[in-house]
Amino acid sequence: KVSDTVVEPYNATLSVLQLVEHSDETFCIDNEALYDICMRTLKLSQSSYGDLNHLVSAVMSGVTTSLRFPGQLNSDLRKLAVNMVPFPRLHFFMVGFAPLTSRGGHSYRQVSVPELTQQMFDPKNMMAASDFRNGRYLSCSALFRGKTSMKEVEDHMR
């Protein structure tokens, strides 16, 4: 759907050893999953690499928000790794993101904490093709930003 390059799966497979050995955190993002988000969730008639890059930049901007802005639970990527990685070689993160917006889409609406949480864990919002509804998590982190009360988040996440 996205790439007709025959060597793409080989590149991904052959890079895993280097990522395991020389990376502290790896965020798994899959072009096919991004394409599916553009087509199914955002309902774009045609998606470009610009649309896929918009999703990646939104996700990574969200993950690194606490590095740039003050908040109640400021953290950095090292603290994220300390809390999320149970064993040093298991540092591959699957990213779910909500709310999703298309590039150039400026229609914003109020979203509740339960809605955000449901969307965050929805397989349609995962940046790598996978379905976690019946699986188990080794660790999980939900990062909220905006005018959200900590009490509401804590109450809903329990």
The 3 state secondary structure assigned to the chain is CCCCCCCHHHHHHHHHHHHHHHCCCEEECCHHHHHHHHHHHCCCCCCCHHHHHHHHHHHHHHHCHHHHCCCCCCCCHHHHHHHHCCCCCCCEEECECCCCCCCCCCCCCCCCHHHHHHHHCCHHHECCCCCCCCCCCCCCCCCCCCCCCHHHHHHHHC
68: CATH: 3.40.50.1440
Q: What is the mean pLDDT of residues 127-149?
A: 83
Separation of alpha carbons 44 and 51, rounded Å: 9
Distance CA 50, CA 115 (A): 27
77 or 57: which leads in pLDDT? 57
CA angle 101/121/156 to nearest 5° reads 105
Average pLDDT of the chain is: 87
CA contacts within 13 A on the Cβ side of 145? 18
Residue 94: what pLDDT?
A: 92
* pLDDT at residue 93 in the model: 93
CB atoms within 10 A of CB 123: 13
Domain that holds residue 71: 8-157
pTM of the model: 0.85
Model confidence over 65-101: pLDDT tens digits?
888 887 766 678 888 888 899 999 999 999 999 988 8
* Domains identified in the chain, total number: 1
| HSE (side-chain half, CA atoms, 13 Å) at 59 | 22
Contacts for 62 with CB less than 8 Å, ≥ 6 apart: 97, 143, 145
